[in-house]
Structure 1
Amino acid sequence: MIKIRADHLEILMELAKTESMSLASKVLHISPQGISSSIARLENELGFKLLNRTKKGVCLTEAGQKYLELSSHYLNDLSALKLQTLDNPAAKSFELEGSLAIYSTTPFNIDILPKVTTFLCKMYPNIKLSLREGHTGQVIEAVVTGASEVGLIMLEKESKTNFLGTENHVKFYKLFSNPIYALVSKDSPLASRKSVSIKELLNYPLVIYMDSKNNIVLNHIMANKHIYGEPKVIMDSDNIPTRNKVISEGFAVGFSNRYTLRKSMDENPEEIIAIPISDKLNFYCGYIVNSQSALSAAAKVFINILKANC
């Protein structure tokens, strides 16, 4: 019988997120050789290959992806058990103190961040939290300048360098993928569709959430104008009710990711239809840190709790 080892699963999960032996090594504090040996032992025990190695890094094989999906519930249960143990006051071995600043974009603020910060405040009441919401550029700037130790953002895999740059020493760690949906009026010709392509959507005017520079879906479209053509953006707004009103009245269509979709639909549940985008898009939510600055104990605890809730 194959035994599921938490350390092997954690290594495999980190490799899936970072797609890099060296980055996984830094996150897990295990040497690249140690990671390679652990994966080799696991592959030998399972009888199939888990990783493909390329010049750019590593990626999971199809079998590796399926194994991680089937086994990930074990890690989730283990994380929940750890948190429940921590929740017992008798299990506290020390009290953390100090300040912790977190900057985040909207997707995290709907569901994930409230759970993480509530647990953190309960367990470590002597940590003073400072939470700020902003667009992607503002969050990155906060981490670069040291205004925030940890930033929570959503990025497209192919555009990481464009957003993060190569000089500012910001490192992005993927937590989960975040699918994109089209938002259309209930009276739109598209309303009955089970899925819709970006090219089809661009036959209609667009209303963009946040400003155009920091909307990652629009950035994806602009970077691929040779495929999609030129979008007609009639409005950008960081006010969801205003954006939804424009969509529900049929003046334009819009986009939403999975984590802001609930907030979008709560505003106009019967007037707006959400349709999955059929294009293969690689949008990920994750956290960023400044690789030239050592993380405080409070930041490390925050990241651990964040991972356990994603």
Structure 2
Amino acid sequence: MLRLCLIKVNTEAVHMNHQQLKSLLKIVECGSLSKAEEKLYITKAALKKQIDRLEQEIGFPLLVRTRQGISLTPAGEEFCRGTKKVLGDMDSVIQRSWALATHEMTIRIGNPHHPRLLLENAFNEFSRRFPHIKQQVILQKSSHFVEDILAGHIDVAECTYHPMLKSPGIQYTKLFPMSYKCLLAPSHPLAGSKTIRPEDLSGHRVGLLQKDTELSLQLNERCHNLSLEILTRNELQDIINICYNNGIFISKAYFLNSMQPLVAIPLETDLVPMGGIIYRESPSQVTKQFLKVVHDLYPMGGSGP
């Protein structure tokens, strides 16, 4: 924990930690310990202990506790003004030092062979926050993500969840649902539909990825005379050839919405894969910063790109 050192009038050193000062400012902002504990996720008893310890160390009271709430003593007002400046200066120093320390660093991001990136907004935001850190996208098969992360070839990988991603030393964070969509040509008989049911696919040629086994089973159960073509990967050439030959390509891939003039229509199914990101259980500091950007933009349960 970051510790700060001030000097008393009698020249004795006073040691305070960063959390004590932040807690003090939050209590003053909220006007009570009860409201502050909700904001800081710290119990009222723990907050009181922090402030009591702080007042003991500096040698004078900062807060006046009344039935109406909490207010600052005159000395406390001056102390808080100085504290805001100290914390602001410290944050600025840390940011400048971080920029120097990471000047030539690179975050390596594994991505499937797709026409677009899953976390495009995160790439843009990370570049804005950390312009000195290089982002290197590495296109490869998703089946290689785990071994490449463990081997240190990439730092993170964006993907949809699959049981094969579970491995010792690997952490997976689910970010948002990625619903299945049907991609078809504007001339297709189903192109005007708002949604497509599995039963509607009966008698049609349908392209599907090999790893979507649950959906494949569901379609075979609910459709009759279905011509199912299994693909090993999202190859643009294969997708186009299916769609422009009166077929339908079904995928959870996020890039389907951007393949105009082809039409992307939601498939009515209870199977909803999750998009997410995988990384080492003990990531580097640069990776932690990238993950924070991702989590800020895509809190768990939020909507995807």
Tell me the TM-score normalized by structure 1.
Answer: 0.56
What is the alpha-carbon root mean square deviation over aligned residues?
3.7
1:146–1:203 distance in 2 versus 1, CA, 3 Å: farther
Instruction: State the structure with more CA Rg.
Output: 2
Measure, in 1, the Cα distance between the counterparts of 2:202 and 2:234: 21
Q: Does 1:221 align with 2:215?
A: yes
Measure, in 2, the Cα distance between the counterparts of 1:304 and 1:147: 21
Where is the helix percentage greater, Structure 1 or Structure 2?
A: 1
1:299–1:236 distance in 2 versus 1, CA, 3 Å: closer
Q: Does 1:145 align with 2:151?
A: yes
Structure 1: unaligned runs, 5 residues or longer: 9-29, 35-84
Q: Does 1:129 align with 2:117?
A: no
Measure, in 2, the Cα distance between the counterparts of 1:282 and 1:245: 26
1:207–1:258 distance in 2 versus 1, CA, 3 Å: closer
1:225–1:193 distance in 2 versus 1, CA, 3 Å: closer
Q: Does 1:240 align with 2:236?
A: yes
Q: 1:296 aligns with which of 284, 300, 305?
A: 284
Does structure 2 retain, via aligned residues, the 8 Å contact 1:136–1:154? no
Q: What does residue range 1-310 of structure 1 map to in structure 2 within 5 Å?
A: 92-93=95-96, 94-95=98-99, 96-97=101-102, 98-105=105-112, 109-110=116-117, 112-113=119-120, 115-155=121-161, 160-161=162-163, 163-165=164-166, 167-201=167-201, 203-208=203-208, 212-214=209-211, 218-222=212-216, 224=218, 227-228=221-222, 232-233=228-229, 238-240=234-236, 242-250=238-246, 252-257=247-252, 259-265=254-260, 269=261, 272-291=262-281, 294-310=282-298
Measure, in 1, the Cα distance between the counterparts of 2:92 and 2:257: 35
Residue-by-residue CA offset, 1:152-185 (whole Å, 9 max, x unaligned): 1112xxxx43x224x4442221111112211223
- 2:255 is paired with a residue whose SS is helix
Return the letter of the residue paired with 1:173.
T
Measure, in 2, the Cα distance between the counterparts of 1:110 and 1:6: 35
- 2:159 is paired with a residue whose SS is strand
Does structure 1 retain, via aligned residues, the 8 Å contact 2:114–2:234? no
Does structure 2 retain, via aligned residues, the 8 Å contact 1:112–1:309? no
1:221–1:7 distance in 2 versus 1, CA, 3 Å: farther
Structure 2: unaligned runs, 5 residues or longer: 1-34, 44-87, 299-305
Structure 1 position 254, deviation (Å): 0.6
Return the letter of the residue paired with 1:309.
L
1:108–1:119 distance in 2 versus 1, CA, 3 Å: farther
- 1:92 is paired with a residue whose SS is helix
Structure 1 position 231, deviation (Å): 5.9
Structure 1 position 110, deviation (Å): 3.7
Measure, in 1, the Cα distance between the counterparts of 2:240 and 2:180: 16
1:180–1:235 distance in 2 versus 1, CA, 3 Å: closer
Structure 1 position 300, deviation (Å): 0.4
Residue-by-residue CA offset, 1:36-66 (whole Å, 9 max, x unaligned): xxxxxxxxxxxxxxxxxxxxxxxxxxxxxxx
Measure, in 2, the Cα distance between the counterparts of 1:118 and 1:187: 36
